[in-house]
Amino acid sequence: MCIGPDATLFKARAFIAAHIKARNFYMTDQNVMSRRDMLRKSVTAAAAAGLSITGAALAAATPNGAMSMVAGAKRSYKTFALRRSLDGVVTLTLNTQGSAFILTLDAYEELAAAFVEVSLDPDSRVLVIEGAGDYFIKDVDFKTFGDLSRSLGWLEVAARGRRMIQSLIDVDIPVVAAVNGPALLHSEVAFLADVVISAENAWFEDPHMHGNVAPGDGIHVVWQELFGINRARSYLMLSKRLSAVDAHTFGAIAELTASGDQAKARAAEIAHELAKKPAATLRAARYVMTRRFSRLLAEGIALGWYGEAISALAR
């Protein structure tokens, strides 16, 4: 019998609860390791009982959360590459068939799932987000979004987009962004990182107003918070291009590098240095320094996506 996320989940929950007492563990390095070992034992015990528990069921059924990576059943993603080093640095490379990343509807859903997966993995210590080729984010494929002339179509897009951004800010480990090139949309994916390293020739732009659509998918919250309310409103209203040099001057980018490859190398260097710190320190630091953004995004995206949908439907 295979217990998956849509099967008889209470059986998986009961089995894992019998072998893991994660609720009684505090978040220390020793206890994270202990919980991981117990997770493995629980899967072994379930197998002995004739139950095959999938990674998704394990994550849903485990007290305090667990992750499919731990059980060796990591989800396969189509819209980016995900890898983890031995010291716990997880690198997420945005790419489309090995080249520059093109946003699709599925990418929203997959990114949200990956951010949750990484957060729940006790072996993950730092997340690095980078682009492929010459871009961080190159374009969007609206054909994958379905019929956007209908309100229900927009509701689906809004739900997925909202989950992706909220899942990113709620990642439980430090995030380092390596902006290897321009981000022509959703630059908040980079700017929500704790440390942003960028190639000096990169730039950021929001295309919404070019298409007569309100910029309400999260960038309006992040840019106003980082760059100042009036400056952000001016850039977004006029669809002005923001250079990495200016973003660095405004304080949103920590360091500039001469090239995209150097940005990736520097981001990796920072991530591996951070990974040497205790797991509890890393997770607690990320948590206390993202709560303001989490609150702002929870409110701003809910309203913003509806403004975006209304303006698009009225064209």
Tokens, residue 269: 């260097």
- Are 25 and 66 a contacting pair, CB within 8 Å? no
DSSP string, 81-129: EEEE-TTSEEEEEE-BTTBS-EE-HHHHHHHHHHHHHHHH-TT--EEEE
Strands 126-130, 175-179: pairing is parallel
CA atoms of 217 and 102, how far apart (whole Å): 17
Single out the residue of 133, 76, 73, 145 nearest to residue 106, CA to CA: 145
The residues annotated as belonging to the active site are 188
Q: Which of 217, 216, 218, 208 lies closest to 238, judged by CA?
A: 208
